[in-house]
Amino acid sequence: MRLPIFQVDAFTDRLFSGNPAAVIPMSGSLSEELMQSIALENNLSETAFIDLSKQPYDIRWFTPTTEVDLCGHATLASAKVLFDEVLDQSIDEINFQSKSGALRVFKKDNLIFLDFPSDSSAEVLDKAFVKDLLGFEPNHLFKGSDDYLAVFTSEDIIKNLKPNFSKISQINSRGLIASAPGDQVDFTSRCFYPQFGINEDPVTGSAHTLMIPYWSKILGRDEMIAQQLSKRGGILYCEHKEERVLIGGKTAIYMSGEINL
């Protein structure tokens, strides 16, 4: 069996930056065991599998070690592949069905936007333990449905965090987000997911479902630009829409080929 495969750098307009994802469009489904093996072989933070035989298209995401319920950058990468390589060029909107429910993706200007459910958070009063995880104590700490969100005062702190991945892997959440106001953008972040085999994720779309509502309230506006300050880095164009968030980005296709199974 041969399957097409693409590798796309998401949330960037140039290769070798942003967050790389593998995308496998197919007419049918594969076993979970096989999808997990392919994701491990790809050794990227996420591999997206799209079943084009279903309507809406079924999408699933796998890290090298496990399946995840929601992944922003791999959905952005999937949309890029479908828009440019699979679907009719006149189509400007795609609907997916996922373990996180219905997801909509659309083109606007020169960006692709993800329409994702927003995540709410509750403040955690005992925040001192974060200093052992990141080297700095945050001003505020929140817990969303998946991640902790540690809020700091400056972009400089975010750049100089000293993550202890062993300790972060032991917290009771998917991962830990560190965020602060930006110098040239509205807010910045870094995201750590060692328990999923990803010590630091280059750009994390799903983490912004938690950050966008928070920063929208703090900054007093619904449209914002965010930057993830990983080594590869990425820019996200964000909009808060009550129960939903829009996360826009650019993409660059790095590779296309076939998998031989």
The residues assigned a catalytic role are 46
Q: What is the C-alpha separation between 176 and 148, in angstroms, rounded?
A: 5
Compute the C-alpha angle 7/96/98, nearest 5°: 90
Q: What is the C-alpha separation between 227 and 217, in angstroms, rounded?
A: 18
Task: Kindly report the number of other CB atoms within 10 A of residue 160's CB atom.
Answer: 11
Closest CA to 6 of 90, 104, 71, 86: 86
Q: What is the C-alpha separation between 47 and 32, in angstroms, rounded?
A: 12
What single-letter DSSP state applies at residue 261?
Answer: -
Residue 249 parent element (H or E) = strand 244-249
Compute the C-alpha angle 62/64/70, nearest 5°: 30
